[in-house]
Structure formats: C-alpha cells, structure tokens
Structure 1
Amino acid sequence: MSENKTKKQVVKLHPDDNVLVALSDLQKGESITFEAETFILKDLIKAKHKFYTQDMIKGQEVIMYGVLVGKVQTDISKGSLMTTENLKHAADPYAYRNASYEWQAPDIYKYKNKTFKGYKRNDGRVGTANYWLFVPTVFCENRNLDVIKEALHNQLGYAVSDKYNQFTHELLQGYLNGEDIESINIELNPTPKNNRIFENVDGIKFLNHQGGCGGTRQDSATLSALLASYANHPNVGGITLLSLGCQHLQVQDFVNDVKKQNPEFDKPLLIFEQQQTESEEALITNAIKKTFEGLIEINQYERTDAPLSELCIGVKCGGSDGFSGVSANPAVGYTSDLVVALGGKILLAEFPELCGAEQNLIDRCITKETAEKFIDLMESYDALAHKVGSGFHMNPSPGNIKDGLITDAIKSAGAAKKGGTSPVVDVLDYTELVTKPGLSLVCTPGNDVEATTGKAASGATLILFTTGLGTPTGNPVCPVIKVATNSVLATKMKDIIDIDCGPIISGEKSIEEMGEEILDYCIKAASGEIIPKAVQLNQDDFIPWKRGVSL
C-alpha cells in the first residue's frame, strides 16, 4: 500500500494485480479513477470486495498480491464484481529453486535499547506471564478439573463470572416474585478487576481435552508431547497433573516427554492418580491443598528486565475478511519484521492458509533442508485432505467468502502477510519447539483454536490474532492480543478487540506506523502493564490436533 494518508476508494495490492479492492461501498455505474485509468462499475462493490480491472475470458488467471489466486469461470467485463460464481481457486505449483533472497530489515533504532519485564526461567527463556497449570492425562479427569477450577478461581480472585451470577440472581428473584421475565431490565455492573491473592501469579489455567484414551496410541503420544510442551512453557511456573490410571497416556509417558524436551526441568510438578486414591474427595482436596502450597512458591517469582530479543510472538488470523490482507495482516507483518530485526522469534502457522504463498516462503528459506521440510509437510497435509475428498481450497468459511475472501489462495496470500518479509530460518512440525531467532513456520491447521494451541506448544509467549469479523479465541498459557482489520468491528466488539487497524483503511496511518503501535502494545502486554481482553475474559481455548484432516 502507498504511504499516502489521504482517503482512497480502492487499493491495488501489487503492481501485477488485475483486481482492485474497494475500501468503501462503491455503487453500480459509479466511475472510479485509479492510476490514470477509469473503471465504470458493472455491479455494486461493497467494501472489502474486489472488481476486475480488465475484460476477462473463461480460464484466464486472476492475480492478487502478485500471485495466482484463481481462474475466471466465464467471460466477464472490466469493472465486474469478483464472486464465487465467476472465480474458482487456483494456485501456482511450487518447488525448491535455490533462490537468492535478500531481506531489507526495518529501522529498529527506536527499539534498540528497550526492554520488557518478564519472568526469567532457569532454562534461559523468558515468560510474559506466570501461570499455574492443571493438566489431565485423560478426558475422564475433566470434571475433577472443573470442580477444582471453580473452587480456586472463586476463592483466589481469578473468576470473571460475577456479573453473570448477578444477572442470573436477578432473573431468579423476578421469577420467584411472579414477574414477566421479558420485562425485567437488569443493568450489569462492569466485571470487577481480579482481586488476586497471589500478586505474582497471573492465573490458574486448565487444559481440559477429549484425548488420552480411546483413540489411537499415536494420538495419545502426540497429546503427551503437546501437554509436555505446555508444562515446559516459559509462561508456566508450576503444574498439577491429574490421571485416572488405566488410560493410554500414562503419567510416565508425560514425564518422559517433559524430560526429553527439557532435561533440566525443575518446575514444581504435582501428580495425582485417581485409581490410587481412596476417594474423589481425597483426590480433589489433596490436589487443591498441594497446589495452594505451589502457588505460594511461584508467587515468589518477580518480573525483571529482559531484552526484546527474548520475545517469541505467534501470528494468527481468524474470522478473516477482505481487509485482513490489506490492513491488520501487513501491519502485524511489519511488527514481525521489527521483532526479527531485534533478534526475537516469530511463529507463522496455519499451513492450509499458506496455499498459493508457498513459493515465496520457499524462496525465503535459508537452507535447502528447511525448504524441503516445508514442502514435505505441506504436500503430506494436502494429500490427507484430498484423500477424504477435501483439500486446502475448501478452507474459506461462509463468513470469509461473504466478506470478500473468494478463494483459498486470496485468503492465504493475505494471511501470509502476518509473517512479514524476513528469511525463514526454520520449519517446525506440530509440538516442535522453536529454538532459532527469526521467522519459523509451524505446521498446524487453520482452525483458530488448534492453531493457537500449536503456536503456544512451539513456544509463543504472545500471540497476535488478527480478525475482520470478530472471534473470542484465546489460549490458556499464551496471552492472545486481538487486532481488528477495520474500525467498525473494533467499535462493535470493543469488549474483545485490543488494537484497531482501521486507520490504515481510512488513510490516517501507514502500515509501518500501525506495526510500531502493535509492537509497543506487545511490549506492555509482555510486561504485564496491559492485560489483553482475551486474558481478562479467561478465553482459555485448548484443542489438541489429532493430525487428521482439519482445515
């Protein structure tokens, strides 16, 4: 995008594109002038949608972001609206070609001496939070976790449900008094700030899941590695493990995976096995008592200054719209480049949403081995999808399409912008831990929760989550920062949005200015000075990926 901050009607995302994106609603018959060329619109072009800049014949390639994103299905006139009827997904093939990639790093002068206040762990990593984590080895323990969660959250100041308890209480009183429920007007008090007993414990988190038994042994092995990575996460100070006893995922498997990932693991780890305990009551009370002692222990940890090179940020999009690749994703991409230039780590995942952007990423890989690992993971994943009659091309949701993301290649080309422009230093399979500074690709589904779950497993200590339609997704151990693509969403869903990239659409700010604002917010969030909305609302979503077909 141009850095011109005047209000524009349309934008061209790459010089080679043969479509323009509407920045506001454009009327049928309206005359639009762009780069000395005039277009008479054949249809109503709503904001976020695209129109063709030339007459097209059936089978002709459509270029957006400088890459192939589809082929037209019928002859179509210049100025016509792009739709699912006249365009179908297409993407160029990709291969390793030993490209010589040169990166122009952004200016980091204003950040060079900045720090954040984090929790330094004994393995050298730095967390942005200090959580106590409850882990079940099997779904049979979920109910026990729920009971413990209610007790600890309510008594120790981590609950967020007070205003809804009040709301339900008022409804009950009205019902008992014979009032018409529909006529009862109840004004909710704002959710109070958490009155934490343990000042340096940012939360008590629970990894409820549906695995650990009943599936394949491979599923349990993957789950064990995932849970172990969460136990090892730098945002986690201590762990309580609940096991039934007879399940596939045995306690020792989990412990072995923890030690495999981190031979020097030294966090408090409390283990309770229900089939070796005299009663459910004894299990729960013992777990609460010992955890309380553990909370006292990790409450001694304090935040200290750490360089920005210790930041590890996952970048994610969900509830995407036609502005995602225009505003929020490029802005987050600029933030990513700043973090990489500062020596930090960036994690770009969602492999089904890199369809069409593969060649650019392959050309940016620093070694042939890195590129080949990416190609192998992409091809294997896509083959699994085709095996069951699907494919990456079926990734866009009805909401995506309605708001302008007509093909998966359009969605993917815009989604890839979150990773910025730096070289790809590593490619990580699911649950593999990031070790190298720079941009790493992480194999996960595009599914919001499965992807954020996977990013945290690889070591993300913050996640930047862009959205054009709005989503309440969060993560138990990794604070998730919501970045809106447009100001309408940021205003409408202000209870879940942290940052508004709408000023890019209106021309008030450049992508670079917005990217710096996002990094400034990240520094404050990493220091505990700002609490992202997803954390305030306890949006602690956790879904393990079974390596099946999930787009």
Structure 2
Amino acid sequence: MSLVVLNESDDVAVATTAMPAGATVGVRGAGEVTLRGDLPAGHKVALRDLAAGALVRKYGQVIGRTLAEVRAGEHVHMHNLGMPEDAAARATQGAAGSTLLLPADLRRTFQGFRRPDGRVATRNYIGVLTTVNCSATVARKVARLTEDDAEGVEGVEGVEGVDGVVALTHGTGCGMAAQGEGWDLLRRTLAGYARNPNIGGLVVIGLGCEVNTVTGLMADLGVAEHVPVSSYTIQELGGTSSAVQRGVELVRRMTSDLAGTVRTEVDVAELVLGLQCGGSDGWSGLTANPALGVASDLLVAAGATTVLGETPEVYGAEHLLAARATSPEVADALMARIRWWETYTQRQGTTLDANPSPGNKAGGITTILEKSLGAVAKAGHSPLAAVREYAEEIPRPGLVFMDTPGYDPVSVTGMVAGGANLICFTTGRGSVFGSRPVPTVKLATNADVAGRMAGDIDLDCSPVVEQGLPLEEMGRRVYDLLLDVASGRRSASEELGLGGEEIVPWQLGAVL
C-alpha cells in the first residue's frame, strides 16, 4: 500500500489502493501517515492538520477549502472539503507553454485517405444527415439497411475503402427561431459534420415543413466539390417507406463510387485530435490524462493539431492555460469564455461546481477545481495557439481550445464539427462512448475499470502508478496507438458499433 503526492506543496495524498483505518502507510517522498478511517482507492487523505477554512492544495494548486478542522490521516472529500468563492483567483500562476524536441525514433507518418482538396481522413464514411428530428427515423433506417445488410439489402460491410454508413441525426431543427445563437450553433454543427474529411459522401434528408429547411441548409453546407451530395424531403416523396427506399438507393450508388478508395502514407501533421475525458476519477490526473498530455505534446511538436474542450472542466485551472497562450488575445478569448459560463450557470440557478457527477465523486474527485486540474493534463504543456467557439473550424497546427460543455456527447460533437479526424477519450469509471464518423480511442485510468470493461478499453494507463512506468513511456504508447487507429485499426468502440447515437449538438435558445 502507498500514497502518492503530486506536488511537494500538496496538503493531500492519493490512495493507490483501498486502505483500512489504522493502517500506517508510506507516502512516496514524504514519510508516512496513519489513516483515521477507511480510504477508498483514488481518494485523498490529509498529510497534515488543517484548520477550518484552510485552502487545500493538490497538483500544487487550490482544489477547495476545508469545511471544518481536518486532522492528518483523515479522509478528505465531500464531508469536509468545499468550494471557496475565490479559488480561481487564488490559484498559482502557471508556466508558459513549451514545445518538445522530438525523439529521433518517433513515428512521423500514418496511413490515411488523402482527399482531392488536400485534407486527410482517418475513415471513409457515407453520412445520412437530417435537417430535423422528424427525419431521424428515416435516416437511421437508411443507415441500418445499407450498412448492416439487414432485410436482404446489400450492405457496405466488406466493401474495400468504405468504412460504413452513419446516420447524423439530432433532436431539433424545428420549433426554434431561425436566427440567434441557437440557430447559429445548429447550422454550424450540421455543416461541420458534412464537411468533416471523414465524410466521403452525403445524403441530406428533411421532412419538408421544418424551420431548418433542406434548401436553406444545402446552401450553407460548403461541402468540397469531390464529395457526392444528394438531398430530398420525406413529404415530397410521399412518406416514410418511399423516403427510406430513396435513401438506400442513393447510399448504394455512393458506395459503388467510393469503393476502392485507398489509404496512402501521410504526415502525422494531418491529424486533428480531440482530447476528451468522461467518467473521471481520482486516478485520471495521475495516469491517463497526463499520458495523453505527453502524446498531445508529441503531436503538436510534429506539426499536428490537438483540441481541448469542456470549458466547465477547466474552470479553476484556466490560469494554467492562459499562461501558455501565444498572445494576449488568445488568453483574453479563453477568459471571456470562462466569464460567459459563470454568467450562464448563474442564470440557470446553478454553479460550475455542480459539474462533478456522482460517479466522479465516488471515484475520489470532490470539487470542480480538482477535476479541472486533472482534466487540463490532457493538453500537456504545449503553447495554447487559439481559442474557438463551439463547432467552429479548428485552425491548424498547434494546441487549440474549443468552448464546449463538459457533457461528453455534446463536447465531442463540437470537435467533430470543427474538423477533428480522431478522438482520444480517457475514463476512470468506464465509458461506452463512440463518435462515428470519427474513431474514438479510449484510455483507462485504472486497472479495475480496464479489466471490468475490457471490451470497451483500448489501453490501460494504470502502470504509471501501479508499476512506476514513466509517463513519457506511457505517452509514447498512447501516441503509437493513436497512429495505428488513424491508419485503420479499429478501436474498441468501433468494434462494438458505438458512435451512431452520440451526435448531440449543443442546444441554446428558445424552444418555440
């Protein structure tokens, strides 16, 4: 049994395993402590006596304020740790970003689909995009009939060069104002999916009387000339059955046209990687997140692009990102989004500290500050090159921040719409997430979830703590895995067929 201290200034240590009350446990680099109560794995214990109202540090940063006096050896969690009003303002300034010198043996290419316009895809999908929720069922039937070889219809499975058919559905498109923030978000998201390089062909389906009309959407899509696009409405074809039949015909025709598309060797700089975490626990900031941060730094140094999102989950750690901004304008843009979220949550009658989920708390995370400090580790130490709003086109190259909610499907939807062609998702409690038409690679933070949910996990990062594996080595394993998946290796979520239901555009504005 042992406890881990992440920074010499920390007031707490993290349990690597569940530990019983009364145990005297060694603290790596800081002596030992006797536990005053049972301590679950991933949870925190006080290293010294703390007065009531004292600021508590982990990662060398403020994660909360004691609600009562805490003695050395006591479990530190929801019962005695809360959010200080001015925690973010009290946090220590971070260091400026740095760029790595690349190892001589680092892989610098992968096998991707080079599009005629120069962009590179990691997958080759036909998308069935809906203008409105009313056409979602038709789109799903078209995708199921053409991809899964259901009901005697020839499917795309086994067609060389085509990875599948995905229904790009959502829950809105009507009952909304045809202008304003909510409208702009929806149209930007749908157009972004249509333009994602992983879409090789597109069928657009509407009902026929919705606010988000087919003709209007088609005019704004901006899809590259080499991508075949067809559109129609259910009403003009005379109903569901005819609309499904028409969609199947169009998809099969596109499948024939795309058959034989081949991968070629391309530079790693063509990757646009979305960085996501979900079902986080006390190990997230120790293992998978910083290991992904190492991989992110390697990619950025090699000329690629990585995208950090989940604005509510950088709250309290935003100063660390702002200190790495490449210009004052980039730092100001990040802080402007933080202020927007503070106002937004207040208007909704909540606070950003409501973000940690019951699962996060069961895994040892107490406040949003603690969660955020672990979450930003996914972004490594590279300079912050740009800040973008939700679903905006992602500039290249470098580390980019996109303003997204913390809710995983909504966050990743924005990244895919912005042009991400690969997603890496870390989890400590377990996740069944996918993101077609973009592959998701899942990293486990601990051995327990990696074993219990082995079919959903691509890589176990727990050896960083359990075996003392250097973060740099685990980061290289993550990097190599990402290039393998970008080259066509199917991730666990792809093998399970996940990713068709996780397209969730951020909805803002009135429902009319």
Q: TM-score, normalised by structure 1?
A: 0.87
Corresponding position of 2:116: 122
Give the conservation status (yes or no) of the 8 Å contact 1:350–1:451: yes
Instruction: Identify which of 290, 293, 303 aligns with 2:250.
Output: 290
Give the conservation status (yes or no) of the 8 Å contact 2:156–2:162: no
CA separation in 1, counterparts of 2:94 and 2:477?
A: 33
1:143-191: per-residue Cα shift (whole Å, max 9, x none)? 21232223112328999xxxxxxxxxxxxxxxxxxxxxxxxxxxxxxxx
The Cα of 1:201 is off from its aligned counterpart by 0.6
Question: Are residues 270 and 154 of structure 1, via their aligned partners in 2, closer, same or farther at CA, if it must alter by over 3 Å?
Answer: same
Give the conservation status (yes or no) of the 8 Å contact 1:385–1:392: yes
CA separation in 2, counterparts of 1:463 and 1:247?
A: 32
Instruction: Identify which of 16, 29, 39 aligns with 2:9.
Output: 16
Letter in 2 for 1:210: G
Q: Verify: 1:236 aligned to 2:229, yes or no.
A: no
Corresponding position of 2:492: 533
Q: Verify: 1:41 aligned to 2:41, yes or no.
A: no
CA separation in 2, counterparts of 1:117 and 1:158?
A: 34
Corresponding position of 2:209: 246
Question: Are residues 334 and 61 of structure 1, via their aligned partners in 2, closer, same or farther at CA, if it must alter by over 3 Å?
Answer: same
Give the conservation status (yes or no) of the 8 Å contact 1:206–1:476: no
Give the conservation status (yes or no) of the 8 Å contact 1:315–1:418: yes
1:55-78: per-residue Cα shift (whole Å, max 9, x none)? 111110001111111000011111
1:227-274: per-residue Cα shift (whole Å, max 9, x none)? 110110011101000011211112233223322xx6x54311110122
CA separation in 2, counterparts of 1:437 and 1:83?
A: 40
1:195-226: per-residue Cα shift (whole Å, max 9, x none)? 82411110100112111001333433321210
1:6-30: per-residue Cα shift (whole Å, max 9, x none)? xx71111122211101111222122
Q: Verify: 1:335 aligned to 2:295, yes or no.
A: yes
Corresponding position of 1:425: 385
Corresponding position of 1:371: 331
CA separation in 1, counterparts of 2:491 and 2:243?
A: 34
Instruction: Identify which of 54, 75, 99 aligns with 1:81.
Output: 75
Give the conservation status (yes or no) of the 8 Å contact 1:309–1:344: yes
Instruction: After TM superposition, list the pairs within 5 Å mapping 1:236-275 onto structure 2.
Output: 236-259=199-222, 264-275=224-235
Letter in 2 for 1:228: A
Instruction: After TM superposition, list the pairs within 5 Å mapping 1:306-455 onto structure 2.
Output: 306-455=266-415
1:317-355: per-residue Cα shift (whole Å, max 9, x none)? 101111011111010111101101111000000000001
Question: What is the number of residues matched between the two proteins?
Answer: 503
Question: Are residues 157 and 502 of structure 1, via their aligned partners in 2, closer, same or farther at CA, if it must alter by over 3 Å?
Answer: farther
Corresponding position of 1:196: 157
Letter in 2 for 1:213: C
The Cα of 1:473 is off from its aligned counterpart by 1.0
Give the conservation status (yes or no) of the 8 Å contact 1:157–1:195: no
Report % sequence identity. 32
Give the conservation status (yes or no) of the 8 Å contact 2:147–2:157: no
CA separation in 2, counterparts of 1:520 and 1:370?
A: 30
CA separation in 1, counterparts of 2:372 and 2:322?
A: 15
1:409-449: per-residue Cα shift (whole Å, max 9, x none)? 11110011001110000001001111221110111111111
Letter in 2 for 1:12: V
The Cα of 1:278 is off from its aligned counterpart by 3.7
Moved over 6 A (4+): 97-100, 156-159
Instruction: Identify which of 426, 448, 451 aligns with 1:488.
Output: 448
Corresponding position of 1:223: 186
SS class of match (2:33): strand
Corresponding position of 1:465: 425
Instruction: Identify which of 470, 477, 481 aligns with 1:521.
Output: 481
Question: Are residues 243 and 68 of structure 1, via their aligned partners in 2, closer, same or farther at CA, if it must alter by over 3 Å?
Answer: same
Give the conservation status (yes or no) of the 8 Å contact 1:105–1:337: yes
Give the conservation status (yes or no) of the 8 Å contact 2:147–2:156: no
Corresponding position of 2:167: 206
Question: Are residues 102 and 424 of structure 1, via their aligned partners in 2, closer, same or farther at CA, if it must alter by over 3 Å?
Answer: closer
Letter in 2 for 1:79: G
Cα RMSD of the aligned pairs, angstroms, is 2.3
Corresponding position of 1:190: none
Corresponding position of 1:59: 53
CA separation in 1, counterparts of 2:200 and 2:463?
A: 39
Letter in 2 for 1:105: L
Give the conservation status (yes or no) of the 8 Å contact 1:52–1:77: yes
Question: Are residues 406 and 98 of structure 1, via their aligned partners in 2, closer, same or farther at CA, if it must alter by over 3 Å?
Answer: closer
Corresponding position of 2:65: 71
CA separation in 2, counterparts of 1:102 and 1:319?
A: 27
CA separation in 2, counterparts of 1:156 and 1:438?
A: 43
CA separation in 1, counterparts of 2:261 and 2:89?
A: 48
SS class of match (2:323): helix
Bigger Cα displacement from structure 2, 99-108 vs 37-46: 99-108
Q: Verify: 1:131 aligned to 2:125, yes or no.
A: yes
CA separation in 1, counterparts of 2:495 and 2:216?
A: 34
Give the conservation status (yes or no) of the 8 Å contact 2:97–2:323: no
The Cα of 1:79 is off from its aligned counterpart by 1.2
CA separation in 1, counterparts of 2:205 and 2:342?
A: 36
Give the conservation status (yes or no) of the 8 Å contact 1:258–1:265: no
SS class of match (2:455): coil
Q: TM-score, normalised by structure 2?
A: 0.93
CA separation in 1, counterparts of 2:227 and 2:30?
A: 64
Give the conservation status (yes or no) of the 8 Å contact 1:156–1:197: no
Letter in 1 for 2:18: D
Give the conservation status (yes or no) of the 8 Å contact 1:157–1:196: no
Q: Verify: 1:105 aligned to 2:66, yes or no.
A: no
CA separation in 1, counterparts of 2:194 and 2:5?
A: 46
SS class of match (1:105): coil
Bigger Cα displacement from structure 2, 476-485 vs 195-204: 195-204
Letter in 1 for 2:159: F
The Cα of 1:109 is off from its aligned counterpart by 1.8
Give the conservation status (yes or no) of the 8 Å contact 1:67–1:356: no
The Cα of 1:99 is off from its aligned counterpart by 8.7
SS class of match (2:148): helix
CA separation in 2, counterparts of 1:338 and 1:72?
A: 38
CA separation in 2, counterparts of 1:213 and 1:235?
A: 27
Consecutive unaligned residues in structure 1, runs of 5 or more: 1-7, 160-193
